[in-house]
Amino acid sequence: MRDRFAGVTDTSRPRLLLIDGHSMAYRAFFALPVDKFSTTSGQHTNAVHGFISMLATLLRVEEPTHVAVAFDAGSTTFRTEALPSYKGTRDATPEPFKGQVPLIKEVLEAMHVRHLDKDNFEADDILATLSSQADALGMEVLVCSGDRDSLQFVNENVTVLYPVKGVSELARMTPDAVRTKYGVEPHQYPELAALVGETSDNLPGVPGVGPKTAAKWINQFGSLEQILDRAGEIKGKAGESLRDHLDVVRLNRQLNHLLTDVELPFGPDDLRVQPWDREAMSTVFDALQFRTLRERLFAMHPSADDDENAAPAVEVTVEDLAPGLLEAWFAEHDQRPLGLEVAGRPVPAGGDAWALAIADGPGSAVALDLTDLSAADDTALSDWLSDPTRAKVVHGGKSVWHELASRGYSLEGVVFDTELAAYLCFPDQRSYDLGDLAERHLHRELTPVDTSSDQGALDLSVGEDSEGGRLAVRAAALTDLAEVLRGELGDRSAEPLLTELELPLSAVLVHMERHGIAMDVDYLRELEQHFGELVTGAAASAYEVIGREVNLGSPKQLQEVLFDQLDMPKTKKIKTGYTTDAAALADLFVKTEHPFLKFLLDHRDSTRLRQTVEGLLKSVADDGRIHTTFQQTIAATGRLSSTEPNLQNIPIRTEAGRRIRRAFVVGDGYETLLTADYSQIEMRIMAHLSGDEGLIEAFRTGEDLHNYVGSRVFQVETSAVTPAMRSKIKAMSYGLAYGLSSFGLSNQLNIDVKEASKLMEDYFTRFGGVRTYLAGVVDEARANGYTATIMGRRRYLPDLTSDNRQRREMAERMALNAPIQGSAADIIKVAMLGVEKEIAVRGLRSRLLLQVHDELILEVGHGELEELTTLVREQMGSAADLLVPLDVSVGTGSSWHDAGH
DNA sequence: GCACAGGGCTC
DNA sequence: GTGAGCCCTGTGCT
C-alpha cells in the first residue's frame, strides 16, 4: 500500500499537493465506520479523522513543498445553472457527515494549510486552475481527488492520486496509467466521460455505450467533435443510440470541462508548506478527542525544521561541576528562582529519585547523580531544597516532593508550579506534559541538543542515556515557562488561585498521600472470600437456569443469552447491539420475571464488590496503609480526583458495599477517624449564586431541604411531604445543576414527560430565581467564553457557540454545572488549607487523610477529638462567605463506616 | 501489549 | 436526551 505512494521524487523541484477537500472527506466518511469515530459529546468525526490521516500520510510520503485544499463553495455553480439536475443525486448528504467539513477546515488552519473555495465554482475548477498555473511555473503537481473529471489535466508534470479503496490506498494516475485504464489520452478523458456519463454527477450518458466503446470511437475518429460530426457513419445499436443523444453528450462535455482561469486569492507560490501551529492543533485535536492521530502527526515533525518560525534550538549550558562545588554554584545563581527537575518514581511513600537538575534558565544548569553525591554537595543540595526562602520553580511539585522524600530531602520554597499554572489556564486538557508546554509556549523542544564530541557539554552521563542532559534541558525551560504562564494567569486573573490555593494545596495533598489511610487487611481478606462465594453461587444458579455456562462478564455473550436464547424484548440500542446494563436488566426483570436476570444482577454486584476488595488489598503498602494519589490537574471543574487506587468511589449505597468501608480504620497511635462533610453544598451554592429568596430561606429555616422545597412545589405542609414527593424534588434539584431536561427527568423518575414538565414548571414558579440564574449563566458564559466559580476559577467553553447542536447543548450543560461543582471544589480546598494550617498552629498530631469532594477524613490524635472537631467545623464552615450558612456534619468512629453518618 | 467499549461505583 | 471522575473485564487489533 505504501508502494503506491513511493513514486520517483525529484527533490530539487517544488512539488505542489492539491486536494479536493469535499470529495476526499466524503470518501473518508464512507471508508471509516461512523460509530467508531465520535466524541463523547456526540460529534461524528470519522470523515475528519480519515481526511487528516490521509493528509498526514501524503505530507510524509510525498514530501510536497506546497499544499492547498479546495472545497466546493455552495450548492449552486455555473454547472447547476446550466443543468439543475447536475449532481442532483448528491443532495441527500448524510446527517453524520454534515458539520465535519468545518472541522476539517479548523484542523487545516491549525496546520497552516491553505484551503479555498469560490462561489459558483467547484473544487475541481480551483484545482484545475492552480494545477495549470503550477505546471506553467515548472512545478510538479499532485492532485488528490476522488472526482474522475480531474483526470483531464494529467500530464507528465501533473499526477492525479485517485482513491481506489477508502482514502488510504491511492492510485497514481500518470498519463500512462490513464491510457492503460481508459484507453485514451488524459486530455480526452472528459470526451469519454461525456459519452459514458457520470453517475456520481447525475449525468446520464449514451445508453449502451460504456468506456470500451467510447474509447474505441475516440481512437477511431480522433476526437469527440469528429464523433459527433460523423455520428451517421457509426453502425449498429450503439450508433443509433448515439444519434439519439447528441445533445446529452454535448451538454455533458460542456459541464465536465474544468476551468483553468478561475480568479483566486492565491497563486501556487503562496501555498508553501508552513510550520504547524501545534498549540492550535492540540486544541482542535483535544476537542475532537484524537489522541493517537495527534501523536502520529507530532511524531512526524519532531521539530519545526522550516527556516522561518522555527523553534530556536536552545542550547543549555550544563556546568560540569567537580564534586564539592555545588555550594559555590548556588552562591552564584541563587538570586533568582531556579528550575528544579527530578528523575525518579513519584509514588507516595514508596518513591525513588536518582538524578536531578537545577537550572538558572538555559544559561547555566547543573545535573546531579543522586546515587553518587559527595557529602558536601549533598549538604548543599539539602540546604537549598529545604530552605523556604530560596525560590524554586517546578513542574508537578507533588511528584517532585515524593521523589525527593525517598532520599530524605524535604522541599520548601516552591514559588511556581508550571503544571498547576497550565491547569488553571487551560483546565480542559487531559495532561500537561512539560515537553508539550515548552513546545506550545516557548516554541522550544526539550530534547537535549547533542553537541557530542566537542567537550561534551551535554554529555553528562548521569544514569543511562544521558539523563542528566535531558533533565537539564527540562529544568532550564522551567523559569522561562513560568514567566509565560504567569502572563497567562494574569490575563485570567488567576494568579491568586495558583499562589493562594492550588500551590499551598499541593503541599497539603503531599502530606495526605504520604500518610495514607490504615486498612484492616484481615477483614478485607474475609470480605474477599465472602464476596467470592457469592459470585460463585450466583454464577452457578445463572448457568443452571439457562442450561449452559457463559461468561457473565461479557456483554456480547449476555446479549446472545438474553435476546437470542431467551428471546427477551430488546433494550436500549448501543454501539455493539443492545444494552445489558443494570437499569435495563431490572426493567427486563419487571417484564419477564426471568430468574436468570436476578442471578445475573447478583453476580454483577458481587463481582464488583469482590473486585473492589481485591483492588484495595493489592494497594495496601508495607506500612499497612493505602496511599492514594490525588490528581490536582485532571477535573476541568476544579475538583480533585483520586487514582491508584481511587478512594473517591468506595461503595456506600448498599449494605454490602458499606461493609467495605469498615476496612478503612484508624491507625496505630491514633484515637479515631473523623469524617466531616458539607451537607447539600451544591444546592447551597445554587442558592447563593441565584440569590433565590425561596431557596435561601429554605436553608435558613433549618428544615430538611427537600422537604421544604417539596412543600412549596406541591403546596402542602412540610409534614405532608411524602417520601415519593421528596425523592422527586431531590432528583429535580440536583438535576437542575447538571442541565437536566424534562425528558431526562421523566426518564429518571419513571414518569411521563408531561408530568416532568409540569413538575419543573411548578418548581420554577416557586423558585423563579433559580430559573433566571440558570438562563443567565449560559448567556454570560456564551458572551465571555467562560464560566467562573466564586473564586474566579474559569472554564472555557468555546462550544457554546458551535453550530452543532449536540456540542452546543453539551457545552450548555457544562456551563450550568461548572460554576456549581467548581465553587464547591474551591470551598473545600480553602477548608483543607484552613484545617491543615490550624492543626499546625495548634501543634496537634491529628492529620488530614482523604478528601471525597464534599467530605474530609481525618485521623485524630489521642486527646484531640474535641479540639479537632471544633477546628474542623470552624474551618469548613468559614471557607466561604455565602448568602446561606455552610452546614458541616461531623462523625467519628474507628472505621470510615462508623465515622460516617 | 494496547485501545476501546461496556459496565458500574462515587460525589 | 444530567455534571465530574476512575477502573475493571472482554474484545479485537497490531
pLDDT in tens, A591-650: 999 999 999 999 999 999 999 999 999 999 999 999 999 999 999 999 999 999 999 999
Closest CA to A516 of A414, A621, A413: A621
Q: What is the pLDDT of residues A129-185, one digit of tens each?
A: 999 999 999 999 999 988 888 888 899 999 999 887 777 777 888 888 888 888 888
| Cell numbers at A375, concatenated | 557529602
pLDDT the model gives residue A90: 54
Task: Measure, in angstroms, how far nucleotide B11 C1' is from residue A509 CA.
Answer: 19
Closest CA to A596 of A661, A653, A656, A552: A552
| Average pLDDT estimate for A94-118 | 86
The mean predicted confidence, pLDDT, of chain A is 88
Closest CA to A19 of A97, A105, A79, A83: A105
pLDDT the model gives residue A463: 41
Task: Measure, in angstroms, how far nucleotide C4 C1' is from residue A149 CA.
Answer: 52
**Any long-range contacts for A266-272 (C-beta under 8 Å, 24+ apart)?**
A266/A68, A266/A114, A266/A116, A267/A130, A267/A133, A268/A16, A268/A66, A268/A130, A268/A133, A268/A134, A268/A137, A268/A139, A269/A66, A269/A137, A270/A114, A271/A16, A271/A66, A271/A67, A271/A68, A271/A114, A271/A130, A272/A65, A272/A66
| Cell numbers at A158, concatenated | 501533473
Shortest CA to C1' contact from A743: nucleotide: C1
| Cell numbers at A607, concatenated | 463481582
Which protein residue's Cα is closest to nucleotide C9 at C1'?
Answer: A553
The neighbour count for residue A303, using CB atoms within 10 Å, is 12
Which protein residue's Cα is closest to nucleotide B8 at C1'?
Answer: A608
Task: Measure, in angstroms, how far nucleotide C10 C1' is from residue A556 CA.
Answer: 9
pLDDT the model gives residue A315: 79
Is A335 (CB) below 7 Å from strand B?
A: no
pLDDT the model gives residue A2: 28
H/E element, A517: strand A517-519
| Average pLDDT estimate for A337-365 | 94
CB-based contact A890:A676 (threshold 8 Å): yes
Closest CA to A144 of A11, A23, A33, A264: A23
Task: Measure, in angstroms, how far nucleotide B1 C1' is from residue A291 CA.
Answer: 18
Among A267-271, A306-310, A777-781, where is mean pLDDT lowest? A306-310
Is A783 (CB) below 7 Å from strand B?
A: no
Closest CA to A314 of A430, A443, A191: A443
Shortest CA to C1' contact from A576: nucleotide: B5
Shortest CA to C1' contact from A605: nucleotide: B8
State how far the Cα of A637 lies from the Cα of A826, in Å rounded to an integer.
9
State how far the Cα of A620 lies from the Cα of A708, in Å rounded to an integer.
44
Q: Is the dihedral of CA A809, A812, A816, A821 positive or negative?
A: positive
Strand C interface, protein residues by Cβ within 7 Å: A 42, 551, 553-554, 556-557, 611, 615, 631, 634-637, 639, 641-646, 648-649, 731, 734-735, 738-741, 743-745, 747-748, 810, 813-814, 817-818, 821
Is A573 (CB) below 7 Å from strand B?
A: no
The neighbour count for residue A411, using CB atoms within 10 Å, is 23
Angstrom CA distances, A16 to A157, A159, A168, A258, A706, stand at 10, 10, 19, 19, 67
The neighbour count for residue A577, using CB atoms within 10 Å, is 15
pLDDT the model gives residue A406: 96
Among A27-31, A90-94, A430-434, A524-528, where is mean pLDDT lowest? A90-94
**What is the band of A200 on the pLDDT scale with cuts at 50, 70, 90?**
low
Task: Measure, in angstroms, how far nucleotide C10 C1' is from residue A810 CA.
Answer: 30
Is A582 (CB) below 7 Å from strand B?
A: yes
Q: What is the pLDDT of residues A31-43, one digit of tens each?
A: 776 767 777 667 7
| Cell numbers at A379, concatenated | 549538604
DSSP strand pairing (A888-893 vs A786-788): unpaired
Is A684 (CB) below 7 Å from strand B?
A: no
pLDDT the model gives residue A750: 82
**What is the band of A415 on the pLDDT scale with cuts at 50, 70, 90?**
very high
φ, ψ at A9 (rounded to 5°): -115, 135
pLDDT of residue A396 exceeding 50, the answer is yes
State how far the Cα of A711 lies from the Cα of A714, in Å rounded to an integer.
5
Q: What is the DSSP string of A719-771?
A: GG--HHHHHHHHHHHHHHTTT--HHHHHHHHT--HHHHHHHHHHHHHH-HHHH
pLDDT of residue A506 exceeding 60, the answer is yes
Q: Which nucleotides of C are covered by protein (CB under 7 A)?
A: 1-12
Task: Measure, in angstroms, how far nucleotide C4 C1' is from residue A641 CA.
Answer: 9
Kindly report whether the peptide bond that precedes residue A645 is cis, defined as omega within 30 degrees of 0: yes
SS3 category, A850: strand
Shortest CA to C1' contact from A42: nucleotide: C1
Task: Measure, in angstroms, how far nucleotide B8 C1' is from residue A47 CA.
Answer: 32
**What is the band of A319 on the pLDDT scale with cuts at 50, 70, 90?**
confident
pLDDT of residue A658 exceeding 80, the answer is yes
pLDDT the model gives residue A769: 95
| DSSP conformation class of A43 | -
Closest CA to A438 of A481, A489, A479: A481
pLDDT the model gives residue A92: 60
DSSP strand pairing (A641-643 vs A629-631): antiparallel
CB-based contact A541:A599 (threshold 8 Å): yes
Task: Measure, in angstroms, how far nucleotide C12 C1' is from residue A557 CA.
Answer: 15
Is A608 (CB) below 7 Å from strand B?
A: yes
Task: Measure, in angstroms, how far nucleotide C1 C1' is from residue A675 CA.
Answer: 37
Is A580 (CB) below 7 Å from strand B?
A: yes
Domains of chain A with CATH codes = 2-178+259-278 (3.40.50.1010), 326-509 (3.30.420.10)
pLDDT the model gives residue A537: 95
pLDDT of residue A470 exceeding 50, the answer is yes
pLDDT the model gives residue A695: 96
| DSSP conformation class of A156 | S
pLDDT the model gives residue A302: 44
State how far the Cα of A72 lies from the Cα of A63, in Å rounded to an integer.
26
Task: Measure, in angstroms, how far nucleotide C1 C1' is from residue A745 CA.
Answer: 10
pLDDT the model gives residue A88: 59
Among A53-62, A268-277, A715-724, where is mean pLDDT lowest? A53-62
Q: What is the pLDDT of residues A754-806, one digit of tens each?
A: 999 999 999 999 999 999 999 999 999 999 999 999 999 999 999 999 988 88
Q: What is the pLDDT of residues A814-842, one digit of tens each?
A: 999 999 999 999 999 999 999 999 999 99
Task: Measure, in angstroms, how far nucleotide C9 C1' is from residue A553 CA.
Answer: 7
**What is the band of A87 on the pLDDT scale with cuts at 50, 70, 90?**
low
Q: Which nucleotides of B are covered by protein (CB under 7 A)?
A: 3-11
Q: What is the pLDDT of residues A368-386, one digit of tens each?
A: 999 999 999 999 999 999 9
Which protein residue's Cα is closest to nucleotide C8 at C1'?
Answer: A611
Shortest CA to C1' contact from A614: nucleotide: C8
pLDDT the model gives residue A609: 95
| Average pLDDT estimate for A567-582 | 92
Which protein residue's Cα is closest to nucleotide C6 at C1'?
Answer: A646
